[in-house]
Homo-oligomer: A and B are copies of this chain.
Amino acid sequence: MDICKRLGENVRRYRKEKGWSQEAFAHEADIHRTYISDIERGARNPTITIIEKLARPLGVTASQLLE
């Protein structure tokens, strides 16, 4: 399983647990909406600083997003 896809699935799952749209989450994480879309589809290969920006509003660790 590709690590980018795994990250995407994790982000999407945690985001939905929060009841957020991509747009709302993008605002919380201070990341562009379309970038979130790309991440969730595994279409990007982000850096670890992006992983951390995603993790914080979701209330999880960067490590958890890669599990």
The chain A residues found within 8 Å of chain B, CB to CB, are 3-4, 7, 45-49, 51-52, 61-64, 66-67
Task: Classify the secondary structure of A's interface with B.
Answer: helix
Complexed CA–CA distance, A46 and B51 (Å): 11
B45:A66 contact, CB within 8 angstroms: no
Complexed CA–CA distance, A63 and B61 (Å): 10
Complexed CA–CA distance, A16 and B56 (Å): 31
Known: A4-B49, A47-B47, A66-B66. 19 other contacts (CB 8 A): A3-B48, A3-B49, A3-B51, A3-B62, A4-B48, A7-B48, A45-B48, A46-B47, A46-B48, A48-B48, A48-B51, A48-B66, A51-B66, A61-B66, A61-B67, A63-B63, A63-B64, A63-B66, A63-B67
